[in-house]
Amino acid sequence: NPKTKEQIENLLRNGMNKELRDRLCCRMTFGTAGLRSAMGAGFCYINDLTGMYKYLERCFSDFKQRGFVVGYDTRGQVTSSCSSQRLAKLTAAVLLAKDVPVYLFSRYVPTPFVPYAVQELKAVAGVMITASHNRKEDNGYKVYWETGAQITSPHDKEILKCIEECVEPWNGSWNDNLVDTSPLKKDPLQDICKRYMEDLKKICFHRDLNSKTTLKFVHTSFHGVGHDYVQLAFQVFGFKPPIPVPEQKDPDPEFSTVKCPNPEEGESVLVFGHWKVFTGNELAALFGWWMFDCWKKSKSDADVKNVYMLATTVSSKILKAIALKEGFHFEETLPGFKWIGSRIKDLLGHGKEVLFAFEESIGFLCGTSVLDKDGVSAAVVVAEMASFLETRKVTLTEQLAKVYEKYGYHMSKTSYFLCYDPPTIKTIFERIRNFESPGEYPKFCGAFAILHVRDITTGYDSSQPNKKSVLPVSKNSQMITFTFQNGCVATLRTSGTEPKIKYYAEMCASPGQSDTALLEEELKKLIDALIENFLEPSKNGLTWRSV
């Protein structure tokens, strides 16, 4: 790649040794959502050199019969000629050169199409070139195993080990016109799109109401790849097409009308009049209620004990409250949909039924046709929920209040600080682990008494009889959860995809408690104490999230 080569040569010419070291002396590692980094030259950046042929060959004797799936979004960077499409073609070319059949989508697709295609086509694995909601400078590489779930340990470590063993690109690697000439390349687009839309019908319960609804829906894809696919999904559910936001409808690698394409930054991504922006946790409360309600009405004779819902451990505990009252099972996983996907696979293998799973950062999965978060199906399920409620003269906001009244109010707040200095992050977390004295976690946070501490980084959990965490240890990321005497649960963790220290806090009230103002006040005070006592932003030079 002449452009990335030139970047390195320029740095060398100008004696930029520190930057050369930063770019060349470390490699990317798998975070909560695959490999993610800025596009550009260097081993810790996303560029042409990313591969996993070696490891797959080692794992699957039938690799050359079953093949591999490759999908991509519309990200790109002119200065390093690093578009997702070009990286996808190179990924395909490397495998085609080794006589591996490749299912390469002929145009951009939403991420869930790749895990869905891996399962449907019985491929050994798949990769999606995307950095989903990250800033425009970034790109990424999401790897799915034959199960259709994102890879978890040990596969991630083993792939990186194989990359280390095989650093020299072989002849033919750069020959990306193989994707136009090789008979081993197939385009799965039409077939997968058709099957996916057909499978969507499994979670459509009120097609007749949808076709008659007076509600109008507006959809924006934030310059991403969603538009065409969401239009099709609405059609499958019997709706009129949603109205697109014209300025944000078409893919644009510059994301030119938004500061950042992350839907978690709701207010800065869209302009609102008097609109309510639901958080991921609030939407999950609605989805949980809806998916269970629809299941109950459509499966009158089925056993509720066989039903499961899942959430990541930093997400709202509202599903746990619903599960306790309704009699189904609720489980937690580590942060990241890769853990949810692989757990769902286990449960399905044991004959269980999983209705819904989510993470608070606006990742939802309704049904189990895909084993990763899926915004296309989530969008159309919300639309159906709204249409159904409309026939009963209830808004989504009113329904959310009903869910909280029935199962207990869950007030949560999630935010973050930016920290570009890894040693500072380590210091902050080590101080918590040795708070009063070496090896002693804090017993108070300001005026708030701490009941239990769980440290996923070290595997410690004071609430367990053997003091060991039930969730797997995750040594290379920081994550500590505090359960307070007043019923609040708060977590501090580092982001797996960006330079952030995130905090999550939630007050869970029992169904009788209705003084929401009091709960909110208590939550606010606790978060202030958490930030002041444990993160110490001014002392540590942390940048507050700008809203």
Among all residues, which ones are annotated catalytic?
132
Collect contacts of 458-461 with beta carbons under 8 A, ≥24 apart: 458/433
Q: Enter the tokens of residue 273.
A: 């009049």
**Pairing mode, if any, of strands 307-312 and 243-244?**
unpaired
> Residue 532 carries which DSSP code?
I
Separation between Cα atoms, residue 463 and residue 171, nearest integer Å: 56
Separation between Cα atoms, residue 116 and residue 425, nearest integer Å: 37
Q: Residue with structure tokens 């189904």?
A: 328
Contact residues for 45 (Cβ-Cβ < 8 A; gap 6+): 23, 28, 37, 38, 39
Give the closest residue to 214 by CA, choosing from 243, 240, 232.
240
On whether the CB atoms of residues 246 and 221 are closer than 8 A, the answer is: no
Give the closest residue to 119 by CA, choosing from 225, 195, 33, 197.
195
Q: Is the peptide bond before 154 cis (omega within 30 degrees of 0)?
A: yes
Separation between Cα atoms, residue 483 and residue 471, nearest integer Å: 16
The amino acid occupying position 311 is A
Q: Enter the tokens of residue 323.
A: 């599960």
Characterize 256-278 residue by residue with b for buried, 16 or more Cβ atoms within 10 angstroms of its Cβ, and e for exposed: ebbeebbbbbeeebbeeeeeeeb
